[in-house]
């Protein structure tokens, strides 16, 4: 059974960089799905897709966040990471990592999720 | 922010059937992208309920069914149970956003 676990600071100061890591267990990050994602949920905006990364390293980001987001992957450590720069209070949210569900080569949502981690942006 | 619109809430008595609509546009659901549905219990991560418009992952009761038509999709819950009380979200992709994943506004299902 694949499990995902987010880790990182729960409090980030405005204008600084938010950094989170997702550790995948119960299987290799390179097997099963080829894509892994970050999603966040805030009270005001609901669920918002941040971006995804392929095990080969290619990325795709939400256009609204693209200038500030970087997602990377370390297959040797079974981890992928999120960096969000120049954060403001609007970036306060629960951040989830998730596995992209692939069905016969078609991207079909997210089948495994981490438990989520609350990140608050405040001085 | 959400490009997929859902009713804020629906309710029904135990045993009844409820449906949740998800209205999109020609750049997402209407552009042929598949629709997924998620159930979210309080304080817990969303759980994939329906994928590829109408398919259930293993372990999801057949009380849950999904459909898609034109620029909209629907989730139906038959034989409503107390444990179904949760938030439900639809999700698709949008060509005007470089095929980014997009989520619905969410619907709270209340079991009376």
By C-alpha distance, the chain B residue nearest A41 is B45
Share above pLDDT 70 across residues of chain B, in percent, rounded to a whole number: 99
Q: Which two tokens stand for residue A100?
A: 């992209």
pLDDT score of B1 more than 70: no
What is the predicted pLDDT for the residue at A32? 76
Q: What is the pLDDT of residues A35-89, one digit of tens each?
A: 999 999 998 678 999 999 999 999 999 999 999 999 999 999 999 999 999 999 9
* Cβ–Cβ < 8 Å for B64, B56: yes
Segments in chain A forming alpha helices (H): none
pLDDT > 90? residue A33: no
Contact call for residues B43 and B37 (beta carbons, < 8 A): no
**CA B7 to CA B112: how far, in whole Å?**
17
Which residue in chain A has the smallest CA separation from B106?
A46
Report whether pLDDT(B112) > 70: yes
Pick from B101, B34, B28, B105: which is nearest to B67 by CA?
B34
By the CB < 8 Å criterion, does A2 face chain B? no
The strand pair at B9-12 and B107-111 is best described as parallel
Q: Average pLDDT, stretch B26-39?
A: 96
Residues A106-120: tens digit of each pLDDT? 899 999 999 999 999
């Amino acid at each position: 059974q694949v499990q995902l676990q987010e880790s990182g600071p729960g409090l980030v100061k405005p204008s600084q960089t938010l950094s989170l890591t997702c550790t995948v267990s119960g299987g290799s990050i390179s097997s099963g799905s080829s894509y892994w994602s970050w999603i966040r949920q805030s009270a005001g905006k609901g669920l918002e897709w941040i971006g995804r990364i392929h095990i080969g390293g290619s990325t795709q980001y939400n256009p609204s966040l693209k200038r500030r987001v970087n997602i990377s992957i370390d297959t040797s450590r079974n981890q992928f990471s999120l960096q969000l720069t120049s954060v403001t209070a609007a970036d306060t949210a629960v951040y989830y990592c998730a596995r992209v569900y692939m069905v016969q080569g078609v991207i079909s949502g997210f089948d495994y999720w981490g438990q989520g981690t609350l990140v608050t942006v405040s001085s | 922010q959400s490009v997929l619109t859902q009713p804020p809430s629906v309710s029904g008595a135990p045993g009844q059937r409820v449906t949740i609509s998800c209205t999109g546009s020609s750049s997402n659901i209407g552009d042929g992208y598949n629709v997924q549905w998620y159930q979210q219990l309080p304080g817990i991560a969303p759980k994939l309920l329906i994928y590829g418009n109408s398919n259930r992952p293993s372990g999801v009761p057949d009380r849950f069914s999904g459909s898609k038509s034109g620029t909209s999709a629907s989730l139906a819950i038959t034989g409503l149970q107390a444990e179904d009380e949760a938030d439900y979200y639809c999700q698709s992709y949008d060509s005007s956003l470089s095929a980014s994943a997009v989520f619905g506004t969410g619907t709270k299902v209340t079991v009376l």
